[in-house]
């Protein structure tokens, strides 16, 4: 199935943030949408410029609970900045005409739970939830 | 036989370290070092016919390259700016204080070794004195749930100061590699400039390559391959492999943008193995006769390094405008010394010119690591308590020493 067809059948509103949002703001967005595990960062032109995962954010804000730190994590703990400084700026996105079966494994290797779909200008069209893919696979088996 | 021994050292070191920590509350590094000692020439080494000098050097060079890469990638320029002036000046003061006091003290006492100028051994030991063990300090902060400006300063400083230590150590080795001061300058320029240029170029390249590798496992191969290649080039072309690997990490982080996890997380998972290796190998070189003969040097190194750190960080923090609660206590929290210094001392052993100073340095650093594990932890607790940042209601949970010394 093509990404555009999936989005029509399973419309999901992506949760987005500005690159200058603070980490507590990002946490608030996650807590407002408990099912969401990936937030997309949208720049001033409306293009996807980054991605922030739930585990990454929780690791940053709960660093004081971790008994061991690498040097990189130590610096992150004491210099907490805005979302722009912690997001993954190499976001792997799908095009609407791509088939899910062809690109799915690339996304899984990135350890993300949602797959963003963008147009030619990199504007976010929607999100494919891996949970929805899983639900459909189980339903088909049954 | 050597491969078998590496396996035994890693597994027995891990078992001994974790059991000692669990049952007796001693730091894991103590177990690692004791296992290494068991295979030293005085005990089992000679019976097993082990010639440590022959096979440990490539391992040490690669392992140190891995650690230097992680040190280089610890912070971005933006993060350094946000750390604040007082943390930066306190770090510089701490490093300078430890270096100068150890160097001056050992020169004054006339501690020297054959094959090096009279200032050679003091220079090497002073460079090693600048290194700190972040994990020991993090363990204390975690144990007591410490928080506040001093805690923040300590965490920032221990993450950064080893970078200065690597630069000082690289410069010291380059100076000592020359036959005289006249030949030292061009040699020094080549060692450092080549390391910065080749390491910097490598950092850019590996960041570009990593964008094409989405699989975690493939990125690990690329990163470790790049580190080993760089260390090998440094050996072949006679530039500082340590500085080059640190520059590789720094530039990879710089070009990698905000989200650098993909470039460092796979390598960070190897750090514990590297430290087990360093401490067990240091144990292999542990020579009781050297320790007994130079016991006073070990004590002197410990005292001068500690005093230099306390005075230097106080001056640096005050110059940077830090409040007295930070300036008066931050040096006390920086005493623990561990794996990186041990690794650097082990690296010296591979070069004939440094063979004498290497044995002295390995034994001084290993013995003083054991000292800093107990006294350093006590001093850090004292400093945090004095600054009012210790939450003692949370103290004393299990695993107090689990990560100290690295």
CATH number of the domain where residue B250 is located: 1.20.1530.20
Q: How many CB atoms lie within 10 A of CB B110?
A: 9
Yes or no, beta carbons of B214 and A109 under 8 Å apart: yes
Q: Is residue B390 part of a domain?
A: yes
Q: How many CB atoms lie within 10 A of CB B109?
A: 12
* pLDDT for position A86: 86
Q: How confident is the model at residue B52 (pLDDT cuts 50, 70, 90)?
A: low
Helix (H, G, I), strand (E, B) or coil at A127: strand
Q: How far apart are CA B229 and CA A38, in angstroms?
A: 36
Closest C-alpha to B274, from B32, B37, B39, B38: B32
- CA nearest to A50 within chain B: B259
**Beta-carbon contacts of residue B132 (< 8 Å; ≥ 6 apart):** B157, B158, B161, B162, B165, B334, B336, B337, B338
Yes or no, beta carbons of A71 and B70 under 8 Å apart: yes
Q: Name which of B70, B214, B399 is nearest A110 (Cβ-Cβ).
A: B214
Closest C-alpha to B343, from B113, B43, B131, B94: B131
3-state secondary structure chain B: CHHHHHHHHHHHHHHHHHHHHHHHCCCHHHHHHHHHHHCCHHHHHHHHCCCHHHHHHHHHHHHHHHHHHHHHCCCCHHHHHHHCHHHHHHHHHHHHHHHHHHHHHHHHCCCCCCCCCCCHHHHHHHHHCCCCCHHHHHHHHHHCCCCCHHHHHHHHHHHHHHHHHHHHHHHHHHHHHCCCHHHHHHHHHHHHHHHHHHHHHHHHHHHHHHHHCCCHHHHHHHHHHHHHHHHHHHHHHCCCHHHHHHHHHHHHHHHCCCCCHHHHHHHHCCHHHHHHHHHHHHHHHCCHHHHHHCHHHHHHHHHHHHHHHHHHHHHHHHHCCCCHHHHCCHHHHHCCCCHHHHHHHHHHCCCHHHHHHHHHHHHHHHHHHHHHHHHHHHHHHHHHHHCCCCCHHHCCCCCCCCCCCC
Q: How confident is the model at residue B50 (pLDDT cuts 50, 70, 90)?
A: low
Judging by DSSP bridges, how do beta strands A114-118 and A48-53 pair with one another? unpaired
- CA nearest to B217 within chain A: A109
User: Does B264 lie at the interface with A, CB-CB under 8 angstroms?
Assistant: yes
Residue B328 pLDDT exceeds 50: yes
Q: Is the ipTM of this complex over 0.90?
A: no
Yes or no, beta carbons of B264 and A78 under 8 Å apart: no
Instruction: Classify residue A24 by its DSSP letter.
Output: H
- CA nearest to B155 within chain A: A74
Q: How confident is the model at residue B392 (pLDDT cuts 50, 70, 90)?
A: low
User: Does B145 lie at the interface with A, CB-CB under 8 angstroms?
Assistant: yes
Q: Which residues of A touch B145 (CB under 8 A)?
A: 64
Q: Is residue B126 part of a domain?
A: yes
Dump pLDDT digits (tens) for A76-133: 888 888 898 888 888 888 898 988 887 777 777 766 778 889 998 999 998 988 888 8
Domain limits at B21?
Answer: 2-394
Helix (H, G, I), strand (E, B) or coil at A49: strand
Residue B304 pLDDT exceeds 90: yes
Q: How confident is the model at residue B402 (pLDDT cuts 50, 70, 90)?
A: very low
**Which contacts qualify for B105-113: CB closer than 8 Å, 24 or more apart?**
B105/B300, B105/B304, B106/B297, B106/B300, B106/B301, B106/B304, B109/B300, B111/B297, B113/B356, B113/B357, B113/B360
Selected for mutation to probe chain B from A52, A69, A81, A109 (highest B CB count within 10 Å) is A69
Yes or no, beta carbons of B70 and A68 under 8 Å apart: no
* pLDDT for position A19: 93
Q: Is residue B10 part of a domain?
A: yes
Q: Name which of A56, A72, A110 is nearest B73 (Cβ-Cβ).
A: A72
Q: Name which of B74, B162, B271 is nearest A75 (Cβ-Cβ).
A: B74
Core vs surface per residue A59-82: b (16+ CB within 10 A) or e: bbeebeeeeebbbbbbbbbbbbbb
Selected for mutation to probe chain A from B135, B157, B159, B245 (highest A CB count within 10 Å) is B159
Q: How far apart are CA B294 and CA B317, in angstroms?
A: 34
User: Does B95 lie at the interface with A, CB-CB under 8 angstroms?
Assistant: no
Whether A41 contacts A83, CB under 8 Å: yes
* pLDDT for position B404: 46
Q: Is residue B199 part of a domain?
A: yes
Yes or no, beta carbons of B257 and A89 under 8 Å apart: yes
Q: How confident is the model at residue B401 (pLDDT cuts 50, 70, 90)?
A: very low
**Beta-carbon contacts of residue B137 (< 8 Å; ≥ 6 apart):** B154, B155, B158, B333, B334, B336, B380
Q: Which residues of A touch B403 (CB under 8 A)?
A: 67-68
User: Does B136 lie at the interface with A, CB-CB under 8 angstroms?
Assistant: no
Report the pLDDT averaged over residues B259-265: 83
Domains of chain B: total: 1
Whether B166 contacts B68, CB under 8 Å: yes
Domain A3-141 has CATH 3.10.580.10: yes
Residue B16 CA, distance from chain mean position: 22
Q: Which residues of A touch B402 (CB under 8 A)?
A: 67-68
Whether B27 contacts B360, CB under 8 Å: no
Angle at A74 between CA A21 and CA B68, to 5 degrees: 120
Question: Percentage of chain A surpassing pLDDT 70?
Answer: 96
Q: Is residue B401 part of a domain?
A: no
Most confident of B117-121, B144-148, B227-231, B256-260: B227-231
Q: Is residue B135 part of a domain?
A: yes
Question: Percentage of chain A surpassing pLDDT 90?
Answer: 25
* pLDDT for position A103: 75
Dump pLDDT digits (tens) for B74-105: 888 888 888 889 999 999 999 999 999 999 99
- CA nearest to B249 within chain A: A72
Yes or no, beta carbons of A68 and B162 under 8 Å apart: no
* pLDDT for position B53: 56
Q: How far is A34 from chain B (nearest CA, A)?
A: 24
Selected for mutation to probe chain A from B88, B138, B208 (highest A CB count within 10 Å) is B138
Yes or no, beta carbons of A84 and B257 under 8 Å apart: no
Residue B398 pLDDT exceeds 60: no
Q: How far apart are CA B137 and CA B336, in angstroms?
A: 7
Q: Name which of A70, A72, A84 is nearest B258 (Cβ-Cβ).
A: A84
* pLDDT for position A6: 87
Yes or no, beta carbons of A88 and B216 under 8 Å apart: no
Q: Which residues of B touch A87 (CB under 8 A)?
A: 258-259
Q: Name which of B73, B76, B156 is nearest A78 (Cβ-Cβ).
A: B156
Q: Is residue B216 part of a domain?
A: yes
Q: How many CB atoms lie within 10 A of CB B131?
A: 27
Angle at B67 between CA B327 and CA B77, to 5 degrees: 55
Closest C-alpha to B325, from B406, B269, B263, B388: B388
Q: How far is B214 from chain A (nearest CA, A)?
A: 6
Selected for mutation to probe chain A from B131, B155, B220 (highest A CB count within 10 Å) is B155
Residue identified by tokens 């390259």 is B65
Residue length, chain B? 406
Whether B199 contacts B241, CB under 8 Å: no
**Beta-carbon contacts of residue B296 (< 8 Å; ≥ 6 apart):** none
Q: How far is B259 from chain A (nearest CA, A)?
A: 5
Beta-carbon pairs below 8 A across chains A and B: 99
Q: Which residues of A touch B257 (CB under 8 A)?
A: 89-90
Q: Is residue B386 part of a domain?
A: yes
Tokens describing residue B113: 């070794």
Q: How many CB atoms lie within 10 A of CB A45?
A: 9
């Amino acid at each position: 199935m093509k990404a555009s067809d999936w989005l029509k059948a399973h419309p999901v509103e992506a949760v987005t943030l500005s690159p200058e949002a603070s980490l507590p703001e990002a946490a608030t967005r996650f807590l407002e949408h408990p099912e969401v595990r990936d937030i997309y960062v949208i720049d001033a032109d409306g293009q996807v410029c980054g991605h922030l995962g739930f585990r990454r954010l929780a690791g940053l804000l709960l660093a004081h609970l971790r008994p061991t730190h690498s040097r990189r994590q130590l610096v992150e703990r004491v210099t907490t900045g805005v979302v722009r400084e912690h997001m993954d700026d190499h976001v792997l996105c799908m095009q609407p005409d791509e088939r899910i079966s062809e690109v799915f494994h690339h996304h899984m290797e990135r350890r993300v739970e949602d797959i963003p779909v963008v147009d030619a200008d990199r504007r976010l069209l929607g999100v494919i939830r891996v949970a929805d893919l899983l639900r459909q696979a189980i339903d088909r088996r049954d | 036989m050597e491969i078998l021994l590496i396996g035994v050292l890693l597994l027995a070191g891990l078992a001994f370290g974790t059991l000692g920590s669990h049952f007796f509350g001693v730091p894991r590094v103590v177990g690692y070092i004791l296992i290494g000692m068991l295979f030293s020439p005085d005990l089992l080494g000679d019976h097993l016919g082990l010639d440590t000098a022959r096979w440990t050097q490539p391992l040490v060079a690669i392992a140190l390259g891995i650690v230097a890469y992680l040190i280089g990638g610890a912070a971005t320029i933006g993060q350094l700016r946000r750390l604040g002036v007082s943390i930066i000046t306190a770090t510089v003061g701490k490093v300078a204080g430890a270096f100068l006091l150890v160097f001056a003290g050992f020169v004054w006492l006339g501690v020297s070794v054959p094959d090096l100028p009279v200032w050679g051994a003091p220079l090497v030991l002073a460079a090693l004195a600048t290194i700190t063990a972040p994990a020991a300090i993090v363990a204390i902060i975690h144990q007591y749930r410490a928080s506040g400006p001093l805690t923040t300063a300590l965490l920032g400083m221990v993450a950064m100061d080893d970078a200065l230590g690597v630069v000082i150590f690289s410069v010291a080795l380059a100076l000592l590699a020359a036959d005289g001061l006249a030949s030292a300058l061009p040699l020094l320029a080549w060692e450092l400039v080549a390391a910065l240029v080749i390491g910097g170029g490598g950092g850019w390249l590996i960041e570009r390559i990593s964008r094409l590798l989405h699989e975690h496992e493939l990125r690990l191969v690329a990163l470790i391959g790049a580190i080993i290649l760089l260390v090998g080039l440094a050996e072949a072309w006679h530039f500082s492999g340590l500085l080059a690997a640190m520059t590789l990490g720094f530039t990879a982080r710089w070009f990698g943008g905000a989200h650098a996890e993909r470039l460092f997380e796979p390598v960070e998972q190897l750090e514990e193995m590297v430290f087990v290796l360093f401490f067990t190998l240091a144990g292999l070189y542990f020579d009781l006769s050297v320790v007994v003969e130079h016991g006073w040097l070990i004590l002197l190194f410990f005292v001068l390094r500690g005093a230099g750190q306390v005075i230097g960080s106080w001056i640096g923090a005050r110059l940077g405008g830090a409040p007295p609660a930070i300036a008066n206590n931050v040096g006390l929290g920086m005493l623990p010394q561990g794996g990186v210094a041990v690794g650097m001392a082990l690296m010296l052993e591979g070069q004939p010119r440094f063979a004498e100073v290497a044995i002295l340095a390995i034994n001084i650093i290993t013995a003083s690591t054991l000292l800093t594990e107990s006294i350093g932890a006590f001093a850090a607790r004292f400093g945090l308590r004095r600054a009012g940042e210790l939450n003692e209601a949370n103290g004393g949970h299990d695993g107090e020493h689990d990560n100290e010394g690295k």
